[in-house]
Amino acid sequence: MKRLLAIIMVLLIMVSLLGCAATPDAPEGKPADDPKESTGVKDEGPAEPVEVSLVLPGPAHEEDFYISMIEEFEKANYNIKVNLMFTPNDNEAYGNAIQLMYTGDEGLPDIFRVSGSLPTSMLISYEKGWLMPLDDFITEDMKGSYPDGAFAPNGGLMIEGQIYGLPLIANQFPAFRPFIYNMDILNKYGYKEPAKTWDEFKEMLSTITEGGAGKEFGLGIVGTNAASCFYELAETIRTRVVDAHLTEGNFVFNIDTGESQAANEAFIAAAEYVKGLHKDGLLLPGYESANADTLIQSFAMGQVAILAGQAWYSPRIIEANPDSNLKVALPPKRAADDNGYRYIYAPVDPYYAMSSQCENPEAAWKVLEFISSVEFQQDFYDTQGRVTVSYNSYAEGTMPDYMAENMALADEFLRVAPNPIDIHPEANILISKILANAPKPALKDLFMLSIVDDVSFEELAKEYDTKMNQVIDEQIAAMQAEGSDITREALIYPSDWNQDKDYIK
């Protein structure tokens, strides 16, 4: 027995010595000839990778992109494991998912999106205590790759003097709505450039539609969201009316009174102008029920000369027909001296944020830094087709000429307006309650009703304003009953705002 025990002890000692002498396998992504090892400094890394959870909403193709990029990140950062989860591409579902995580056993994810749903918006997430400030992490290089004013107090990323969000999509990309011209059709009828005024535009549409004899038509608009076309035309006219958070169809208000003003000069003029185009048969037949895909195909096939569209239409057109000779342009003006703009509410919008519950903020920051890098954003544009905030830092030639021109026109036509949340911290809550209780039919539907039923848009809009102003009063009273000090003043803009310049403080 003693002899057996002695043999076992010798074997154990030998195994131990062999284990100490052996060189451990390098973790995946870490070079085996780590310079620290060659100098006698041993760095085996943690026994288990630090886990960082990242939750986002989005379509399947975007999920595939993130999966691929996170795999690259993990290879370069072997000691960090990213647990990526996508919720359905639905704002309400995403907001509910984050709320359930917070109230459940697992708590908030380390990184989540603070846009796309009201419950997860940056301000509301901040008020719930969900966010960790990022000031100690952000570098000057990162700041330099973002648009001017992004890190100003009202730049979109700060609350009470601290940075809580990082952006992804360039505000100019979804906000600017170009008119897209098929230059082959225009040249065929003697036009070398897009139209500048409503009169020129109508004459162009008439010439093309009449000459096309049922094969080529002048203008295509998305009937299922016709409001976008009306807004694009109306925004060229200077008024004292803005769209609350670009809601596109439910709530526009006068910035001097805080009252609903759908019946404003610009909306009335645009509605009557498009009604005239409809009566003259200058719109692509079937536009009333057309969606974006229908119009993109019609344009790519040469059936329509001009689209009142969005920035993402152009790459889809090129995908459908690589030989498309398209040109993007500003919406035509009612008159050459009109000087209206489309208003956005910050140079950038927050997209990602770090949770206050994050147990490993340094590791989470490495993930945030990676998905905020110029390289990641350029890859996002290449694969997803949406321009990101760092587009001015893309490698030369990344964006085709038509998209570079689109972004230049966006800078020309967009202005940063005061944000209601800078006027009152609960303004966003008020606006969301107003929208949830807005009159039916929605304002955006009134444009089409005025055409289809051949009724005065002005009369429809005045009736809408009466109902909407009652909704505003009711929602303010309800918030005050719960202890808020909010009033209609939250919708009245600062007197020092120059509408020709960006309001960045």
Structure confidence by residue, pLDDT tens digits, 326-342 = 999 999 999 999 999 99
pLDDT for the residue 224: 73
Q: Is the pLDDT of residue 34 over 60?
A: no
Q: What is the pLDDT of residues 278-310, one digit of tens each?
A: 999 999 998 888 889 999 999 999 999 999 989
In a domain, 37, yes or no: no
In a domain, 473, yes or no: yes
Q: How far is CA 505 from CA 96, 132, 464, in A?
A: 34, 23, 34
CATH number for the domain spanning 123: value is 3.40.190.10
In a domain, 460, yes or no: yes
Strand order in the sheet with 111-113: 80-87, 50-57, 111-113, 352-354
Specify the DSSP class assigned to residue 79: T
pLDDT for the residue 26: 39
Cβ(468)–Cβ(458) below 8 Å = no
10 Å CB burial of residue 43 (0-12, 13-18, 19+) is: exposed
Q: How many residues does the chain have?
A: 505
| Least confidently predicted of 270-274, 343-347, 460-464 | 343-347
Cβ(266)–Cβ(254) below 8 Å = no
Structure tokens at 474: 């009711």
Greater model confidence, 36 or 126: 126
For the chain, how many structural domains are there in total?
Answer: 2
In a domain, 376, yes or no: yes
Domain that holds residue 158: 50-165+349-388
In a domain, 43, yes or no: no
Cβ(168)–Cβ(433) below 8 Å = no
Nearest residue to 282 via CA among 227, 216, 339? 216
Does 332 share its domain with 218?
yes
Structure tokens at 231: 């807004």
pLDDT for the residue 5: 35
Q: What is the pLDDT of residues 80-100, one digit of tens each?
A: 999 999 998 887 889 888 988
In a domain, 398, yes or no: no
Q: What is the pLDDT of residues 371-425, one digit of tens each?
A: 999 999 999 999 999 999 999 999 999 999 999 999 999 999 999 999 898 899 8
Does 69 share its domain with 131?
yes
Does 301 share its domain with 316?
yes
Long-range Cβ contacts of 201-209 (<8 Å, 24+ apart) = 201/332, 202/276, 202/277, 202/280, 202/282, 204/305, 204/306, 205/277, 205/282, 205/305, 205/306, 206/280, 206/282, 208/305, 209/281, 209/282
Cβ(318)–Cβ(326) below 8 Å = yes
In a domain, 42, yes or no: no
Torsion sign over Cα 400, 406, 407, 409? positive
Greater model confidence, 257 or 26: 257
Cβ(151)–Cβ(143) below 8 Å = yes
Q: How far is CA 126 from CA 121, 165, 489, in A?
A: 8, 10, 23
pLDDT for the residue 89: 80
Q: Could you tell me the pTM of the whole model? A: 0.84
Q: What is the pLDDT of residues 226-270, one digit of tens each?
A: 778 898 999 999 999 998 765 555 799 999 999 999 999 999 999
In a domain, 146, yes or no: yes
